[in-house]
Structure 1
Amino acid sequence: MSKKRIVLTGGGTAGHVMVNLAIIPTFINEGWKIDYIGSKNGIERELIEPISEVTYHSVSTGKLRRYMAKENFKDPFKVMKGIAQSFRLLGKLKPQVVFSKGGFVSVPVLIAARMRGIPAVIHESDMTPGLANKLAMPFAKKVLATFPETLESISDNKGKWIGAVVRSELFHGDKQKGLADANLPGEKPVLLIMGGSAGAQRINQAVRDQLDQLLEQFEIIHICGKNNLEPSINQKGYAQFEYVSDGLSDLLHATDYVLSRAGANAIFEFLALKKPMLLIPLSKKASRGDQILNANSFKKQGYAHVLEEENLTGESLVKSLDDLRAASATLKENMNNYKSVEAKEEVIKIIKTTAKHN
């Protein structure tokens, strides 16, 4: 019997890769041949290529912007090129199934999979589907959702709510190693600041403007995004990183509070680890508003506090973090009531069933 083969895709941000990273170990252990189709220079390449059991392939991709830009006229040609490249790749690889986490690079892959007659499964993390997944959904057999509300946006009865997929390795971090990696003494509560894989300039600036005051209350791990380090800052109790992958579980176990954007993958990981969080979602000026919906859902359920980006100043940040500390016991109690479903196992089961039917 020939070896089972799966093609994974998704990229543009780390959030469009994390579910793939969560399921890859299971498919490796069960002897599947795994290929990943991503962009040439995206963060997905940085995260996937080091995995020796996964073969990475790059294709052309457009950005599918929602705003006017001269690149919009070039992008349809990039997408068509990506479809042709994906069509040739899938014909050569002959996978039983394609699994997509979303992002711009997934669109040509899903279209090519339909052209090849290869069934595809999509995972949507946010409450409302992103533009790339909206375009790709007609070409998929199944669309899996983190939020039950997402099913209202999915037609043809192909949607299924499964809950949040959390990487199992995040539960096995070492607090002392995390403190050592960040060179922190561990004498004060630790605040982890994350702005997503690309960073968040406004959050970074507000934190640095109030750093002296924040360091009176916290030791800080600041994951500030690529090219966003500030080498002039060298203060005790403050550690900055561009991006963290392998050691993230240790840093999370050293963390007492989180200040973050509100991407769905990240906030469900903080929820699973019971970390009180202050969320500053991307504003509608800079996004389609999905992070605002995610943040408000967590606020409503008592898992997080929310500070709108329009209201972000150094002073409002300090006050919001003071309020977070004061409410931490209540937030943790609410998070203890969260019933985590076995989402990762359900995703893997659906992928295998889809492959079997093929």
Structure 2
Amino acid sequence: MKIVLTGGGTLGSVSPLVGIWQALKAQDSQLEALFIGTKTGPEKDFLKQYSLDFKTVPAGKFRRYFSLKNLLIPFVSLIGFLKALRLLAEFKPNLIVSAGGFVAIPVILAGKLLGSKVLIHQLDIKPTLSNKLVSGLADKITVTFEKSLNDYNRKKTEVVGSLLRQEINEVINQAKEKNILVLGGGTGALAINQLVAKTAPFLPKDFQIIHMTGKGKKVKVLDQNNYHQFEFLDNDYYQKIAESSLVISRAGLSTLLELSFLKKPAIVIPIPSSHQEDNAEYLAAKKACFYFKQNELTPKKLAEKIKEIIDNKEQLSQISDNIFKIADYNGAKKIVKIINNLK
């Protein structure tokens, strides 16, 4: 079987695709896969650890605000479509799988023209524009939550739950006391990075802060023995999550589902005015995270909240239990069965 995985720009759409590829590879050692992503996103470096063949196509990202760049979308999209057409004609995939991202649009259009089956996965609570644009071309649509069934054609849409990379099953899930992990995201979250760097001096010395800033997004901070900054966590990413007693993160659902599987209490600070707010609100309604808007926090206030949360063991335990309950963790097995039925 030959499959094309397509997505990128951020790692949110990439991680579940790797989980799907790993599950398919486990049942079919002859599986051939090609990943088509963006030229400037973090996915190329991220995917090197998996030895997946990687190609790029141009993709026009529609901005939901006035921007002259929107005028270039038709031209960029046409170039992306023609390049995708060439790549797919050479590779001849049976199936194209996407979890969102504008780079997937020209790939799916080209794939349908060449006769490939298409599966799209809706990760977030709110349907992404890229998925909505190509949903009519999909042979099958999978979603994380039952709530999302209303956003697509129910006849071809199915709930599968969480899609996680296999490595998450290999960690020793043992939290270290007062160990705070900050996830700035694969593309970096400058506002959170700066906030946390300024928060660190307000925290007691027995608190350990592990801060993943994102590539090229390191920030200046006072020299402190209990503050450790990294651009990226590669091989020990899941282990660092497992060792944390509290995580501070954006609200990309791929990350939230990883925290959910490992039962990690989290302070969630979504990107303002984005789909991440829907994700955070969904978890908060289930008492499954500590949700704060970015403009609500100052370094001193965040430090106070961290100390308050860490000191309340009963609340930490409750949030830990609740976040684990938000998803089904058999998504990989379910989606493999769906893909086998698409052949």
> Shorter-chain TM-score category?
over 0.9
Q: Note the alpha carbon deviations across 1:201-244, whole angstroms, 9 max, x for none.
A: 22112212121122435201101122221355432121111122
Alignment of 1:83-94 (within 5 A): 83-94=81-92
- The residue number in structure 1 matching 2:132 is 134
Verify: 1:343 aligned to 2:331, yes or no.
yes
Report if aligned partners of 1:28, 1:34 keep a CA contact under 8 Å in 2: no
2:39 aligned counterpart, secondary structure: coil
Give ranges in structure 1 of 5+ residues lacking alignment. 180-185
| Alignment partner, residue 283 of structure 2 | 298
Q: Is the 8 A contact 1:145 1:159 kept in 2?
A: yes
Question: What is the CA distance between 1:332 and its match in structure 2?
Answer: 2.4
Q: Of 265, 275, 290, which residue of structure 1 is paired with 2:264?
A: 275
With over 3 angstroms needed to count, the CA separation of the structure-2 counterparts of 1:258 and 1:25, relative to structure 1, is same
TM-score (normalised: structure 1): 0.88
Match in the other structure for 1:333:
321
1:264 corresponds in structure 2 to 253
What is the deviation of 1:38? Answer: 1.2
* Aligned position for 2:32: 33
Q: Deviations over 1:312-346 (max 9, x none)?
A: 21233123223432220221233455563411111
Counterpart amino acid of 1:35? L
* Contact 1:171/1:249 (<8 A) preserved: no
Shift, 1:9, TM fit: 0.6
Asked if 1:201 is matched to 2:201, the reply is: no
Partners of 1:266 and 1:232 in 2: CA distance: 25
**What code does the residue aligned with 1:198 have?**
T
Q: Which residue of 2 aligns with 1:60?
A: 58
CA contact (8 A) 2:241 2:247 kept: no
CA distance in 2, matches of 1:243, 1:201: 14
Please report the TM-score for the alignment, with normalisation by the length of structure 2: 0.92
Cα separation, 2, equivalents of 1:227 and 1:246: 19
Deviation by residue 1:170-200 (Cα, 9 ceiling, x = unmatched): 1322579xx9xxxxxx6x5110111221222
Q: CA deviation at 1:50?
A: 4.1
Q: Which residue of 2 aligns with 1:241?
A: 230
Change (3 A) 1:152 1:337: closer
CA distance in 2, matches of 1:198, 1:254: 23
Aligned to 2:147: 149
Gap change, CA 1:253 and 1:236, over 3 Å in 2? same
| 1:218 paired residue number | 207
Q: Name the aligned partner's letter for residue 218 of structure 1.
A: F
Q: Secondary structure at the match of 1:160?
A: strand
Cα RMSD, aligned residues only:
2.0
Distance in 2, matches of 1:232 and 1:268, equals 30
Q: Aligned partners of 2:197, 2:334: CA distance in 1, in Å?
A: 42
Q: Residue 264 of structure 1 aligns to which amino acid in structure 2?
A: L
Q: Structure 1 residue 103 and structure 2 residue 101: aligned?
A: yes
Q: Comparing 264-273 with 43-52, which one deviates more in the overlay?
A: 43-52
Residues 171, 273 of structure 1: 8 Å contact kept: no
What's the offset of the Cα at 1:121? 0.3
CA distance in 2, matches of 1:333, 1:273: 10
Distance 1:332 1:26, change over 3 A: closer
Instruction: Confirm or deny: 8 A CA contact 2:251 2:276 kept in the other structure.
Output: yes
Structure 2 residue corresponding to 1:76, chosen from 68, 74, 77: 74
Residue identity (%): 31
Q: Which AA in structure 2 matches 1:237?
A: N
For the Cα contact (< 8 Å) 2:162–2:327, is it kept in 1?
no
Q: Quick check: 2:257–2:327 contact (8 Å CA) kept in 1?
A: no
Structure 1 residue matching 2:12: 3-state secondary structure: helix
- The alpha carbon displacement at 1:8 in A equals 0.7
1:51 counterpart residue number: 50
CA-to-aligned-CA distance 1:44-101 (integer Å, 9 cap, x gap): 211224433x221111111221122221111221111111111122122111111111
SS at match of 2:301: helix
Distance 1:211 1:86 in 2: 46
Per the alignment, residue 114 of structure 1 pairs with: 112
What amino acid maps onto 1:93 in structure 2? F
CA distance in 2, matches of 1:337, 1:61: 36
